Amino acid sequence: MLAMTWRQFKQHHPALIGTILIILFALTAIFASIISPYDPETSNLDTRMQSPSAAHLAGTDELGRDLFTRLLYGSRISLAIGVLSMALAVSVGTAIGAVAGFYGGWVDNLLMRVTDVFLAFPRLFVLILLTTILRQLNLPRLPASSFVPIVLVIGLLSWMSIARLVRAAYLSIKEKEFVEAARGVGAPSARIMFHHILPNAASPIIVAATLGVAASIITESGLSYLGFGVQPPTPTWGNMLRNAQAQMTYAPWMAIFPGLMIFLAVIAINYIGDGLRDALDPRRGGK
Amino acid sequence: MTRYIVRRLLQFIPLLFLISLLLFSLLQIIPGGPLAAYENNPNVTSEDMARLEERLGVNDPLPVKYGKWLGNVLRGDWGYSIYTQRPALQEIGDRLPSTLYLMGIALFISLLISIPIGLIAALKPYSLFDVVTTTIAFAGQSVPIFWFGLILIILFHSTLTNPLTGAPLLPGGGMYTLDAPFSIEDWLSHLVLPVAMLALYQTATVTRLTRASMLDVIHQDYIRTARAKGLKERAVVIGHAFKNGALPLVTIIALELPGLFNGAVFTETIFSWPGMGRLFITAASQFDYPVLMAVLMINAALILFFNLVADVVYALVDPRIRYA
C-alpha cells in the first residue's frame, strides 16, 4: 500500500518538488542557529535598513537585525503552528465525525448542529476575538509571546470540514461486511471505530490535513500580520510583514521576503496535498 | 419552494440564538470589561465609575446581561459604541456599503476573468494555455493576499510613476482623494489596487472550478448528441456544456462569499478603506462590546443567508432539484 502510494506520488512532479522544498524548510528551521551567525532578536544600530547583500542575504530591518536570520527562526514558529494546529483540528474533527457517523441518530444530529454553529461563525472575526481574549486574560500557561494560544485558537476553528468528511466516510464504511464481522466476534465499539473503520477512512483525512496545514500557515501569518497573532520580538513570517509595512516604501525587501516564504511554503504543501490526493485515490491512478 | 425557504429561515433562529449566546459569553470573559479604558483616566472619579457600571449593568450576572442585550436587540436596539457613543447599528450602516461595493466589484471582475479562462482551458486540456493558466491559478490560491496587497503598493504606488505628472501611478489607499472634487477617474484609480488584491483568490479558485466542472461535462452523451445533430461548436459549448457545467459553480461562488469578507478585512487594513473589517479590528482592540457583537452577528447572519442563497439558486437553475 505505502509502496504503491509512493510510486504514484513520485509521478506527480510538482508534489515531489514541494516535498523537497518543505524538507529544506524544516532543516533550515531546525539548524537556524548553525546556519546563521546572527541573533534574530538582537538589534544592531550600525546595520539599520541595509538592502540585501552578501553579509545580509535578505537585508536588515529598522533595528539592524539580519532579516535572513529572522526568516529562518520565523519558519520554526510558522511551520510549527501550521502543523500543530492542524494536528489539533484533525484530532477533534476525526473524533467528532467518527462518533457522529458511527452512532447516528440523535448523537449524530447533535454533533452536526454543533458543527453548523461553528461553521456559521465569521471565522477571521472570531479568531481575532479569541486571540484578543486570550492575550487579555494572560493565563500563566498561555503567555502572549508563545505560539500555544494561536495553535489552540486556529485548531479549534478548523475541525469542521474534517468532521463532516469523516462522518460521511463512517456512514458508508460502517455498513460494510468486515464491520459486521468485527461486531459478530464481539469487538467493542471503540475498537471497531478506530481499529477497523479508521484505516479505511484515512485517505481523505490525510489529504484534507495536508491542505489544512497550508491554510493554517496562511491563517497564522494573516493574524500575526493584523497584529493579533504571535507578538514581537518573536519573529514569524506574519509579524515580520506587519513590521515591514511602515518601512515598505524605502525598504521593500522587508516586505518581499517574508511573504515569499509564506507563498513558497503554502504552494509546496498544496502541491503535496494535490499529489497525495492523486496517489491515494485508486480511481484516479496514473496520469 | 417558498415553504422550503421559510423552513430554512426558521431554522436560522435557534442557530443565531446559540451563536449569539456563545459570542456574548466569550466577550464577558475579558477582564476589566468595557470600562477598563477609563480606569487610569484622572477625570473619571470612582463615583463616575460606579455610575457607569450601574448604567451599563457591568455587575449583573451573565444571564441577566444576556437577557437585557437580547431584549434590546429584538427591539432593534444594538446598543451604543463605548468609544464614539453612536449607535452600533449606525456605525455599521456607515461602513457596510463601502465593504459591500468593494466585494461586489471584486466578485464581478473575478468572474469576468475566471470563467472564460476556465472554459477555454477545459476545451483544450493539457494545451499550453491550459497548463499555464492552471499553474497560475494554483499559485494564485497559495499567495497570502495581504502580501499580494503590499506588493501591489510597492509596485504601483512606490515604484512606478505617472510619466506625465511624476506622481505615483496609483493611489496607495483611501476611497478617494481628500479635499478634491469627486471625479470618475479619481474614484476608479482608488479602486484598482484594492479590487485587484481582493479578486485574486476568487479568480484563481473560480478558474480552477470552471475548468474542472467543464471537463466533467464535456464528455457527457448529451454533448455528443448536440455535436452529432450538427450544432455549431459555439452553441454546443455555451448552450449545452456551460449551462450544465455552471451549476456547481453557482453553489461554490455563494459559499465563497464569506471568504471574500475575510479578504476584505485585509484589503481594508492595507488600503485604509473605511469598511466593516476595519471597524471590527478597531472595536476588537478597544473591546467595544456593542459594536463587536453587532458586527459578529450581522456577519453570522450573512453567512447563513449566503448558504441559503446557494441552495435556492442551485434549485432554480437546475430543474432536476426539487425542495419540498
**Cβ contact A262–B269 (<8 Å):** no
In a domain, B81, yes or no: no
A150-200, pLDDT tens digit by residue? 999 999 999 999 999 999 999 888 888 898 899 888 888 888 888 889 888
In this structure, how many other beta carbons lie within 10 angstroms of the beta carbon of residue B189? 16
Question: φ and ψ at B112, to 5 degrees?
Answer: -60, -35
> Which residues in chain B are contacts of A123 at CB distance < 8 A?
258, 262
Report the alpha-carbon distance of residue A146 to residue B102 in Å, rounded. 36
CATH of the domain at B215: 1.10.3720.10
DSSP letters, B23-60, are: HHHHHHHSTTGGGGGGTT-TTS-HHHHHHHHHHHTTTS
Q: Are residues B160 and B279 in the same domain?
A: yes
Q: Which positions in chain A touch B138 (Cβ < 8 Å)?
A: 267, 270-271, 274
ipTM of the complex: 0.89
Residue contact A125–B299, C-beta within 8 A = yes
> Which residue's C-alpha cell is 522587508?
A254
Tell whether A51 is within 8 A of chain B (Cβ). Answer: no
pLDDT at B118: 93
CB contact under 8 A, A244 and B150: yes
B39 and B129 inside one domain: no
Q: How many other CB atoms are there within 10 angstroms of residue B65's CB atom?
A: 18
Place of cell 505505502: A2
By the 10 Å C-beta count (0-12 exposed, 13-18 middle, 19+ buried), A63 is classed as: middle
Residue B141 is nearest to which of A225, A226, A270, comparing CB atoms? Answer: A270
Residues B29 and B123 in one domain: no
**Hey, what amino acid is at B161?**
T
Q: Are B196 and B153 in contact (CB under 8 A)?
A: no
**% residues pLDDT > 70 (chain A):** 96
Using only the alpha carbons of chain B, give its radius of gyration. 25
pLDDT-derived band at A285 (thresholds 50, 70, 90) equals very low
How would DSSP label each residue in B154-208? IIIIII-B-TTT-SBSS-SSSSS-TTS---HHHHHHHHHHHHHHHHHHHHHHHHH
Please tell me whether residues B94 and B32 are part of one structural domain: no
Record: contact A125-B144, CB cut-off 8 A = no
Q: Is residue B188 part of a domain?
A: yes
Q: How far apart are CA A84 and CA A71, in angstroms?
A: 19
Q: Report residue A60: phi and psi, to 5°.
A: -130, 165
Question: Using CB atoms, which residue from B19, B284, B296 is nearest to A117?
Answer: B19
Let me know whether B115 and B245 are in one domain: yes
Q: Does residue B57 lie in a domain region?
A: yes
Give the pLDDT confidence score for residue B211 in this predicted structure: 92
B168: nearest CA partner in chain A: A249
What pLDDT score does B176 carry?
Answer: 78
Long-range contacts of B11-16 (CB under 8 A, 24+ apart): B12/B301, B12/B304, B12/B308, B15/A113, B15/A116, B15/A117, B15/A120, B15/B304, B16/A120, B16/B297, B16/B300, B16/B301, B16/B304
**Cα-to-chain-centroid distance, residue A122:** 19
Shared domain check, B112 and B36:
no
Comparing CA positions, the residue from B255, B252, B298 lying closest to residue B275 is B298
**Same domain? B68 vs B112:** no
Which range is least confidently modeled, A210-214, A237-241, A253-257, B309-313? Answer: B309-313
What's the whole-number mean pLDDT along residues A89-98? 95
Q: Which of B48, B74, B100 finishes a domain?
A: B74
Cβ of A258 within 8 Å of Cβ of B147? The answer is yes
B183 with B38, same domain: the answer is no
User: Does residue B59 form part of some domain?
Assistant: yes
User: Nearest CB to A121: which of B19, B138, B139?
Assistant: B19
Residues of B in contact with A241 (CB under 8 A): 146-147, 150
B254 pLDDT band (50/70/90 cuts)?
A: confident
Residue at B84 is within a domain: no
Nearest CA to CA, how far is A140 from chain B (Å)? Answer: 15
**Residues of chain A with C-beta less than 8 angstroms from the C-beta of B31:** 136-137
**B215 contact residues in A (CB cutoff 8 A):** none
Residues B128, B94, single domain; the answer is: yes
The helix, strand and coil proportions of chain A, stated in percent and rounded to the nearest 5, come to 75, 0, 25
Q: Which of A125, A262, A267 sits opposite B139 (nearest CB)?
A: A267
Lowest-confidence segment of A67-81, A121-135, B56-70, B112-126 by average pLDDT: B56-70
Residue B29: give the domain boundaries.
2-74
A142-163: string of b/e by CB count within 10 Å (b at 16+)? eebeebebbbbbbbbbbbbbbb
pLDDT of A130 over the 50 cut: yes
Q: B260 vs B39, which has greater pLDDT?
A: B260
State the nearest Cα–Cα gap between A184 and chain B, in angstroms: 40
pLDDT digits (tens, 9 = 90+) for A249-279: 788 888 899 999 999 999 999 999 999 988 8
Q: Comparing A250-259, B177-186, B261-270, B303-312, which segment has the lowest mean pLDDT?
A: B177-186
Could you report the per-residue pLDDT of B86-102, keeping only the tens digit for each? Answer: 888 898 999 999 999 89
State the pLDDT confidence band at B37, using cuts at 50, 70 and 90: low
CA-based R_g, chain A, Å: 22
Q: With CB atoms and an 8 Å threshold, state whether B300 touches A120.
A: yes
Are A80 and A26 within 8 A, CB to CB? no
The label of the residue with cell 516535498 reads A19
The answer to whether residues B21 and B153 belong to one domain is: no
For residues B82 and B91, the answer to whether their CB atoms sit within 8 Å is no
Single-letter code of the amino acid located at B134: T
Report the residue from A125, A248, A270 with minimal CB separation from B150: A248
Q: Please report whether residue B128 resides in a domain.
A: yes
- Put simply, the answer to whether A267 touches B138 (Cβ < 8 Å) is yes
Q: Looking at residue B36, what is its pLDDT?
A: 65
Give the count of Cβ contacts less than 8 A between chain A and B: 122
What pLDDT is recorded for position B249? 84
- Asked if the structure places residue B80 within a domain, the reply is no
Q: Does residue A128 sit at the B interface (CB-CB below 8 Å)?
A: yes
Highest mean pLDDT among A115-119, A266-270, B42-46, B169-173: A266-270
Give a yes or no: residue B82 inside a domain: no
Q: Tell me which chain B residues have a C-beta less than 8 angstroms from the C-beta of A258.
A: 147
| Domain edge (last residue) among B74, B104, B120 | B74
How far apart (Å, rounded) are the C-alpha atoms in residues B306 and B318? 18
Per-residue pLDDT, A85: 95
Alpha-carbon distance values, A235 to A77, A91, B148 (Å): 8, 28, 20
- The alpha carbon of residue A200 is apart from the nearest alpha carbon of chain B, in Å, by 27
pLDDT at A287: 37
Considering CB atoms only, which of A225, A228, A248 is closest to B154?
Answer: A248
**Which residues touch B114 (CB under 8 Å, ≥6 apart)?**
B137, B202, B203, B204, B205, B206, B207, B210
The answer to whether the beta carbons of residues B101 and B198 sit under 8 Å apart is no
Same domain, B54 and B97: no
- For the ranges B29-43, B131-145, B299-313, the maximum mean pLDDT occurs at B131-145
For chain B, what is the domain count? 2
The last residue of one of the domains, among B41, B74, B107, is B74
Both B108 and B57 in one domain: the answer is no
CA angle A246, A249, A254 (to 5 degrees): 65
Question: Residue A155: phi, psi to the nearest 5?
Answer: -60, -45
pLDDT digits (tens, 9 = 90+) for A233-249: 888 899 899 988 888 87
Chain A nearest-CA distance from B259, in A, is 9
Looking at the complex, does the CB of residue A262 fall below 8 Å from at least one CB of chain B?
Answer: yes
- The backbone region for B76, taken as left when phi is positive above 0, alpha when psi lies in -120 to 50, beta otherwise, is left
Look at chain B and count its residues. 324
For residue A145, what pLDDT is reported?
A: 67
Q: d(Cα B296, Cα A182) in Å, to the nearest integer?
A: 47
